[in-house]
Amino acid sequence: MNISRLPLNPIKEVDFVAEHYQSIFDAVDQGVCIVDKKGLEIYSNKQYKHYFSFGRNRSDELLNRCLQKKIAHNGQVRHGDKLYDVQVNPIIENKQFKGLIGMYSLREEGLVDVGQKEVTTNKKNPFKTIIGQDPAFVSALLKAEKGAKRHITVLIRGESGTGKEMIAKEIHGASKRSDGPFVAVNCAAIPENLIESELFGHEKGAFTGAHQQKIGKFELAHNGTLFLDEIGDLPMQLQVKLLRVLQERELYRVGGVETLPINVRIIAATHKNLEEMIERGSFREDLYYRLNVISIDLSPLRDRRSDIPLLVEFFAQRMAEKHEIAFSHVTQEAIDCLANHKWKGNIRELKNVLEQCIVLMEEDVLTIDDLPKDISKYYYSEVCPHESALINLKNGNELATMEEYEKEIIKHAMSIYGSFNKAGKQLGLTHKTIASKVRKYQTIE
């Protein structure tokens, strides 16, 4: 039952809600939570209490974000190992904002951890729980979803940390081979003298140290998917043997004399420019065309800035639960800093930074004071430039306004101390007051 169209306005008092709607809300299969304009919980039904362990006067991060903007929003919230679809709507009475109502529906599928090696593949609905709304990223997912339904080779391209293995697992989960094995090989991580044995296996006595027969990755992936990560690092002589296996659908173990038929789907990935490698003679052109039947390009995180707030909230909540740390939300200032960082390590770097911040933060709110200086400096440099244009008096000894003086003092203090806490302590102001004034004067320029 969807209750999103129930007449919730006007809501005047908590008693009014309890009297008229409690029996209805407790009967539905969605969690319902109502907060006032300050974010204080004034009502929640039985299903919401069953889903969550948030205490009174504490709302989740999605509600906090909607409170700041006073707008409706659809999104997702993770709690423990569960993922919830959330619809948040403002409560308006006489054209005044009174609070929010959030409705939570439990997803049955497994949760995908973006950028992480170990991924819970969502066999029921692959690709649907991946976090991202950037148009180019969504287009890549749609392409991957279409390619997953056909027994063809896929080449995934993107920088390190963009989630290439995650996409490969989702392709496998959406294919007819989803019940078969998914075997991953990092071609760059295996020594050159061992990679042939790793891929194709070897017979006992094939070389010094081969004391027993070894089953290779191709055989292990029979009737499933073999993911060849960093294919651009595969030595040239192995490229020739890989091409033969792809063409003939059979292989020889190292030291073996019998051919072994294999039924494997290949998904390859690389962060290198294979076209340039072909020009230099370091990658075989015929192998390239065998692998590049469908090419999926994953954008670096710096080109997906609209997705960063979603990823920040997801990973922050996940890390807080992992380390059993009380966590409420990430401030907008911190999100702005994180969204404007270059993220050379992409999602993997973002995840590691957030884990560090969550572990070291002093309160249950992650602020810019908790961020590494190389990330928080963006905010301070934009809001608080080091040079002051106003020194004591205007030209002609004309006095400036108090607001102009205050603006310069706040900017100057932030340029020296670099954090709300330290600047506020020096000026005799609270952290909250300093943060409010910084936001205020950011819009003046």
What CATH fold (topology level) applies to the domain 14-106?
Beta-Lactamase (3.30.450)
Helical H segments across 120-189, by residue range: 135-148, 164-174
Q: Which residue has the tokens 């969690």?
A: 31
- Burial readout 143-160 (b: 16 or more C-beta within 10 A, e: otherwise): ebbebbeeeebbbbbbbe
What are residue 391's phi and psi, to 5 degrees?
A: -125, 105
Tens of pLDDT, residue by residue, the chain (445 residues): 444 434 444 444 455 555 556 777 777 778 888 888 888 888 888 888 888 765 444 446 677 777 777 777 766 776 666 777 788 888 888 878 888 888 888 865 433 333 333 333 444 456 767 888 889 999 999 999 999 988 899 999 999 999 999 999 999 999 988 888 999 999 998 888 888 888 998 888 888 777 788 888 998 898 999 999 999 999 999 999 999 999 999 988 888 888 888 899 999 999 999 999 999 999 999 999 999 999 999 999 999 998 999 999 999 999 999 999 998 889 888 898 898 899 999 999 999 999 999 999 988 899 888 999 888 876 655 554 444 444 444 444 466 778 887 888 888 788 777 788 888 888 888 888 888 888 888 743 3
**pLDDT number for residue 121:** 40
Residue 389, both tokens: 């244009």
If 0-12 CB within 10 Å is exposed, 13-18 middle and 19+ buried, where does residue 357 land?
A: buried
Sequence-ordered list of residues with C-beta below 8 angstroms from that of 95, at least 6 positions apart, any chain? none
Q: Alpha-carbon distance 98 to 405, whole Å?
A: 35
Q: Alpha-carbon distance 340 to 377, whole Å?
A: 10
**pLDDT number for residue 399:** 66
Q: Which residue has the tokens 């008693």?
A: 15
**Single pTM value for the model:** 0.60
**pLDDT number for residue 72:** 74
Residue 423, both tokens: 């600047």
Q: Does domain 303-442 have CATH number 3.40.640.10?
A: no
The segment(s) of the chain belonging to CATH 3.40.50.300 are: 135-299
The segment(s) of the chain belonging to CATH 1.10.8.60 are: 303-442
Side chain identity at 188, as an amino acid letter? A
Helical H segments across 308-429, by residue range: 308-322, 332-339, 346-360, 373-383, 402-417, 420-427
pLDDT in tens, 331-377: 888 898 898 899 999 999 999 999 999 999 988 899 888 999 888 87
Do 127 and 144 meet the contact criterion of CB atoms below 8 Å apart?
yes
If 0-12 CB within 10 Å is exposed, 13-18 middle and 19+ buried, where does residue 415 land?
A: middle
Sequence-ordered list of residues with C-beta below 8 angstroms from that of 353, at least 6 positions apart, any chain? 338, 371, 372, 375
Give Cα 399 distance to the centre of its chain.
50
What CATH fold (topology level) applies to the domain 135-299?
Rossmann fold (3.40.50)
Cβ count within 10 A of residue 238: 17
